[in-house]
């Protein structure tokens, strides 16, 4: 039976550390500020942004709520981003994705100044990660690294498989694991015999967005299984991993909900703190 890697517990520790440092910055006259740009009426995005704003309030970060209607133009959106770039009271900018289909998300992300890119999506920050330089790191894979460290998972020399190749999770996840001397395979929709590749993994990260895709036939006995998936079904929220079938053979596993999700939000707070006080190289 697997140990449960509890994201809520680890995220609470991150938030407590951030709150302590924010209090020290306040004493020096600095109040970290996060601009949250939300376009349109996507219910999941609204719910997620509300949780992020609640987290900010808990740790003492000022969250500036910038909600705009779905018919905003690209020019208007980029002008709003420019205002945030130029505001000394805003240290981090969160552009909630996805954007309505008529907007160019890549252009909007690139418009954010790299020093305020607390999501870690800007090409400059992704490039710095690739070169092993200090940068803002994408919150979900950065949070997963913190979870693995907290649980004492050894990465050096281990075989890691990442299922999913997005620039938000899969690719930066692979780079962070490589940085820690894991041997990394990135899988995708055209991977032949996906289950066989996954069964090689000592650390398996599932980030494909397909409910219960990863079953016991994908998992090597004793593997550490990280479930990034958030899939809303009639039965409620479930992950990419079929927890009931995989948990008995894994050595450690993250639940959904209560696993990676809270850590993603916690690392956003950590990145915003870095933006206010200067990026850390850890």
Domain 139-260 in the same topology as domain 29-115: yes
pLDDT tens, position by position, 89-116: 999 999 999 999 999 999 999 999 999 9
**Which residue ranges of the chain lie beneath pLDDT 70?**
279-282
Of 272, 259, 204, the C-alpha closest to 53 is 272
Domain boundaries, the chain: 29-115, 139-260
Output the pLDDT for position 44. 85
Residues carrying an active site annotation: 52, 96, 119
According to CATH, the superfamily of the domain at 139-260 is NAD(P)-binding Rossmann-like Domain (3.40.50.720)
Pair type for strands 231-233 and 236-238: antiparallel
DSSP state letters, 3-58: EE--HHHHHHHHHHHHHHHHHHHHHTT---EEEEEEES--HHHHHHHHHHHHHHHH
Structure tokens at 71: 């018919």
Number of H helices, E strands in the chain: 10, 11
CATH 3.40.1260.20 describes domain 29-115? no
Q: What is the pLDDT of residues 117-135, one digit of tens each?
A: 999 999 999 999 999 999 9
3-state secondary structure of 247: coil
pLDDT for the residue numbered 280: 42
Query: Residue 161, by phi and psi: left (phi above 0), alpha (psi -120 to 50) or beta?
Result: beta
Per-residue confidence (pLDDT) for residue 235, from 0 to 100: 81
pLDDT tens, position by position, 179-205: 999 999 999 989 999 999 999 999 999
Question: CA-to-CA distance for 38 and 235, rounded, in angstroms?
Answer: 28
CA separation, residue 64 to residues 35, 50, 76, 92 (Å)? 5, 12, 18, 10
What's the pTM?
0.95
């Amino acid at each position: 039976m697997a140990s449960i890697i509890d994201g809520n517990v680890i995220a609470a520790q991150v938030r407590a550390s951030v709150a302590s440092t924010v209090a020290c910055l306040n004493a020096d006259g600095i109040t970290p500020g996060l601009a949250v740009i939300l376009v349109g009426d996507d219910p999941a995005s609204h719910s997620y942004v509300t949780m992020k704003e609640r987290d900010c309030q808990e740790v003492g970060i000022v969250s500036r709520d910038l909600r705009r209607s779905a018919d905003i133009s690209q020019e208007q959106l980029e002008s709003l981003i420019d205002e945030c770039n130029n505001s000394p009271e805003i240290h981090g900018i969160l552009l909630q994705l996805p954007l309505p289909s008529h907007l160019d998300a890549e252009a909007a992300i690139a418009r954010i100044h790299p020093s305020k890119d607390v999501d870690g999506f800007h090409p400059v920050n992704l490039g710095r990660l690739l070169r092993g330089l200090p940068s803002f790191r994408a919150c979900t894979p950065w949070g997963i690294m913190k979870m693995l460290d907290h649980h004492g998972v050894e990465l050096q020399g281990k075989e890691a498989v990442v299922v999913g190749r997005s620039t938000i999770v899969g690719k930066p996840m692979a780079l962070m694991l490589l940085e820690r001397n894991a041997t990394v395979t990135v899988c995708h929709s055209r991977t032949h015999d996906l289950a066989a590749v996954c069964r090689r993994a000592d650390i398996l990260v599932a980030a494909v967005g397909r409910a219960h895709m990863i079953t016991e036939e994908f998992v090597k006995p004793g593997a550490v299984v990280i479930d990034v998936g958030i899939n809303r079904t009639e039965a409620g929220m479930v992950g990419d991993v079929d927890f009931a079938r995989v948990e008995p053979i894994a050595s450690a596993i993250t639940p959904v909900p209560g696993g990676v999700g809270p850590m993603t939000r916690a690392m956003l707070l950590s990145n915003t703190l870095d933006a206010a006080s200067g990026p850390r190289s850890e």
